[in-house]
Structure 1
Amino acid sequence: MRASRLLSLLLLLQTHGRMTAAQLAERLEVSTRTVYRDVESLHAAGIPLYGEAGHAGGYQLVDGWRTRLTGLTAEEAERLFLAGLPGPAAELGYGAVVAGLQRKLHAALPPSLADRAAQVQQRFHLDPAHWYADGDASPHLAEVAEAVWRQRRIAVRYRSWAGEVDRVLEPYGLVLKGGRWYAVANRPGRDGPATYRINQILALTSLDEEFDRPAEFDLPAWWRAHVVRFRARLHRDEATIRLSPRGRERLREIASDVVVAAAQRSAGPPDGAGWVTVVVPIESLTHAHGDLLRLGAEVEVLAPAELRARLAATAAELAARYAPRAAGTPVPD
C-alpha cells in the first residue's frame, strides 16, 4: 500500500509540477504528516525531489526527471474501461483505483500528448446522470459488482412491479443506463437472464455459491438486443389528443422522440385558438394518464374513451380538492 502511495506521489508531481504538502495530502487522502514522511523516503531512495518554503512553495521534481514506474496493477488493468467515468467508478467502489490509473496513464504519455489529453479533459466531460436526479445510488451496488466479478450467487429482496419478492440471482454483469444501474442476472432454473434495477434491491446476502457464467454470453450485445425489445414493447396503442400551442412546446420537453415525431407527423391544421389534433403512441392507459397529466390544461384527450374518462375523473378530484373552503372546514382525506 505504501509503495503504491509513493508511486502515486511521484506521478502527481510528474504530471502537475509543483504541489504543496496539503495538495498532495488531499489527492492521496492522507495527512500532511504522512506526505512529509513519504517525501523523506523518496529522498533516501535517491529521487531528485526538492521543496521550497513560502506561500508559492511546494515540492517539485528536478527538471527533466521522469519515472518510468508507470506499470498498471492487475486491479487497475481490470478497471481500465472506467477511466473516463470517475463518477460511476466511485459508485462501484473503484474511485481510488481509477484515480491511480488516470495518473499512470497521464504520466506514461510524452509531454506533447499529455498536454493534448489535459486539454480534452477540460473540453469534454461525460456526465451519465439524469438532469433531475443525482444518480442511482444504492447501498448494494458495490456488493453486486463484487458478485459479478467473483461469479457468486446473491440472495436479494427485490421491489418488483408486483410487490416485494425474494430471488436468488446469478449476476452476469452491470449496465449504467441514463444514470441508473441495472444488473443483468439469471435466476437458477430459468431460461436466460433478465434485468434488475439495483436501487430496487431492498436487502442482499452474498452466498458462498459460485456459478458458471456462459462463455458465449456477450453483455454489450445482449443489452443492445434488450433495448430493441424494450422499445418495441413500449408503444402498442395510440391516443388522439388536442394540444394548445403551449402544450406542443411542453410535449417536446417531456415526451420521447418517438412520441414527438408522431405528434408532428400527424398534426392537422390549427384551429382559431392554435390548437391542433394529433395521434400519439402510448405504452398503456396508466402510463398515458400519468404522462398527459404533466401537460395540465394544455391537452384534451379525444380517444380512447377510457383514457379521457380517467383524466376527467382526476381533474374533477383536483377541482374538488382545490375548491375554496369556508373557515373551519376540515381538510378531506
Structure 2
Amino acid sequence: MRADRLVAALLFLQTRQRVTAAELAAELDVSERTARRDLEALASAGVPVYSQAGQGGGWSLVGGARTDLTGLTAPEIRALFLLTGPDTAAASTDPRTRTALRKLVRALPAPLREGAEAAARAGISDGTDWTGADTEKTQLAALQRAVIEERELRIGYARPGRAPSERTVHPLGIATKSGTRYLVADTDHGLRTFRVDRVTSATETGAPAVRPEGFDLPTAWRTLAARMEDRMVAATVRGRAAPGTEPLLEGLLGARIRYGHPAPDGWTPVEIDGPAPEVIAAQLAGLGARVELLDAPEARTALARIGAELTALYGEQGQAPEPAPDTPEAPPRAPAPAATPPG
C-alpha cells in the first residue's frame, strides 16, 4: 500500500502547482502526519520535491517535473485488461481503443506487463448484435462527438409503434444501463434521455450546445433513471402461473415479477409490475394459458382482444385452436373480482 500511495502522491503533485500536507492527506484519505512522511519519502528517493514554509507555502515539484508512471496498481491493471480482452472482438472495437491499450502495455513496468497480458488473454467482449440489427454504432460516434465538442444536434428518433420524428437537442452525455446506451440531452421540454439504438440520424445544426448551469451528468442520470423506473412500475396486476412457467416469466419480466406460495394444484400466485395493464397483457400474450390474470380488467380485456385477433387471423373456421404443447391443464378459473369504480 505504501508504494501505491507514493505513486498517487506524486501524480497528485503533478496536477497542482503547490499542495499542502493537509490537502494531500484529504486526497489519499490518510492522516496529515502520514502525508507529510510520504512527501519526505519522495524527496529522499530523489524525486525533485521541495517544501516551502510559511503562509502560502507547501510542497512542489521542481521545474514542474513529471513522471511516466501510470499510477495504476496491479489489480487495477488486471481488471482493466480483463474487461477489454485481447482485442475485444477486434472487428467491432474502435481501433483507437486497441491502440491505447497497446500503448498502455508498453508504458507499464515489466513486472506489471506480464499480468496485464495474461488478463487480456482471459476474456473477450463481443459487441455484435445476434439479430443483425446492430444500428447503434451508426449514430454513436456522431453523438459522442457532439457531446465532447458541445454541438447542437437535430436527431431523428423512432419510438416503438410510432412514426419516426425529429427534434433539436443539446447533447450532454452518454449513459449506459444494463448494456443499453442512452443520450442525455437538454430539450425544449427539459432534460430527456434517448436510446442510442433508436436514433436514426444525427446532424449538427452549426450552433453550440447549451449546457445548463451546474449540470452534473451522474446526478442528472440518477434523477432521470428514477423517473424511468417509476414509469416502468406504474401498474401492478395479479394472477397465477402454471407449474414450470417461472423461467419464462423471469426471462420476460426480470425483477418485475413476485411469487406467492404455490397452491395445492401447483399454480403459483404472481404479482407483475409494468408501465400499464395493457402493456403487461401484451408481454404475457405469448404465454397463452400458462398465466391467468385475475384482478386487472384492462389487462384481461387486452388479452381477450389479442386472442380474438390471433384466432381470426390463424384459426380455422369453426374449429377451436389447439392447446399449447406441454401446458398443464388449468383448473377451473377463479372468478375475476369486480372492478372497483373510480373514487
TM-score between the two structures when normalised by the length of structure 1 = 0.61
Partner of 2:206: 208
Partner of 1:178: 178
What CA distance in whole angstroms lies between the structure 1 residues aligned with 2:212 and 2:297? 48
Judging changes above 3 Å, is the alpha-carbon distance between structure 1 residues 143 and 246 closer, same or farther for their aligned structure 2 residues? same
Report the alpha carbon displacement of residue 325 of structure 1 after superposing the two structures with TM. Answer: 6.6
CA contact (8 A) 2:240 2:270 kept: yes
Partner of 2:120: 121
Match of residue 275, structure 2, among 280, 283, 286: 283
Task: Show the 5 A alignment for 1:81-120.
Answer: 85=84, 95-120=94-119
Tell me the alpha carbon deviations over residues 210-257 of structure 1, each in whole angstroms, 9 at most, x when there is no partner: 134246322123223322222122212221211101222321222121
Tell me the alpha carbon deviations over residues 63-104 of structure 1, each in whole angstroms, 9 at most, x when there is no partner: xxxxxxx899xxxxxxxxx9855769987xx82221111011
Partner of 1:253: 251
- 1:317 lines up with 2:309 in the alignment: yes
Letter in 1 for 2:220: W
Report the alpha carbon displacement of residue 293 of structure 1 after superposing the two structures with TM. Answer: 1.4
CA contact (8 A) 1:130 1:179 kept: no
Match of residue 264, structure 2, among 271, 278, 282: 271
Q: State percent identity of aligned pairs.
A: 27
Partner of 1:221: 219
Judging changes above 3 Å, is the alpha-carbon distance between structure 1 residues 204 and 110 closer, same or farther for their aligned structure 2 residues? closer
Partner of 1:292: 284
CA contact (8 A) 1:128 1:179 kept: no
Letter in 1 for 2:276: S
Partner of 2:293: 301
CA contact (8 A) 2:236 2:277 kept: no
Letter in 1 for 2:171: P
CA contact (8 A) 1:130 1:178 kept: no
Gaps of 5+ in 2: 1-67, 71-79, 319-343
Task: Show the 5 A alignment for 1:17-166.
Answer: 85=84, 95-126=94-125, 135-160=134-159, 163-166=163-166
TM-score between the two structures when normalised by the length of structure 2 = 0.59
What CA distance in whole angstroms lies between the structure 2 residues aligned with 1:151 and 1:233? 30
Gaps of 5+ in 1: 1-69, 73-81, 327-333
Aligned residues: 238
What is the SS of the residue equivalent to 1:271?
coil
Judging changes above 3 Å, is the alpha-carbon distance between structure 1 residues 250 and 203 closer, same or farther for their aligned structure 2 residues? closer
Partner of 1:27: none
What CA distance in whole angstroms lies between the structure 1 residues aligned with 2:182 and 2:302? 33
Letter in 2 for 1:230: M
CA contact (8 A) 1:184 1:196 kept: yes
Report the alpha carbon displacement of residue 279 of structure 1 after superposing the two structures with TM. Answer: 2.6
What is the SS of the residue equivalent to 1:193?
strand
What CA distance in whole angstroms lies between the structure 2 residues aligned with 1:104 and 1:221? 33
Judging changes above 3 Å, is the alpha-carbon distance between structure 1 residues 235 and 166 closer, same or farther for their aligned structure 2 residues? same
What CA distance in whole angstroms lies between the structure 2 residues aligned with 1:321 and 1:302? 26
Report the alpha carbon displacement of residue 184 of structure 1 after superposing the two structures with TM. Answer: 0.8
Report the alpha carbon displacement of residue 168 of structure 1 after superposing the two structures with TM. Answer: 1.4
What is the SS of the residue equivalent to 1:246?
coil
Judging changes above 3 Å, is the alpha-carbon distance between structure 1 residues 87 and 121 closer, same or farther for their aligned structure 2 residues? closer
What CA distance in whole angstroms lies between the structure 1 residues aligned with 2:264 and 2:114? 59
Tell me the alpha carbon deviations over residues 279-327 of structure 1, each in whole angstroms, 9 at most, x when there is no partner: 322321232012111322211111212211221232233234333479x
What CA distance in whole angstroms lies between the structure 2 residues aligned with 1:108 and 1:271? 66
CA contact (8 A) 2:157 2:164 kept: yes
What CA distance in whole angstroms lies between the structure 1 residues aligned with 2:205 and 2:181? 21
Report the alpha carbon displacement of residue 128 of structure 1 after superposing the two structures with TM. Answer: 7.0
Tell me the alpha carbon deviations over residues 2-42 of structure 1, each in whole angstroms, 9 at most, x when there is no partner: xxxxxxxxxxxxxxxxxxxxxxxxxxxxxxxxxxxxxxxxx
What is the SS of the residue equivalent to 1:123?
coil
What is the SS of the residue equivalent to 1:171?
strand
What is the SS of the residue equivalent to 1:157?
strand
Moved more, 276-285 or 149-158: 276-285
CA contact (8 A) 1:156 1:168 kept: yes
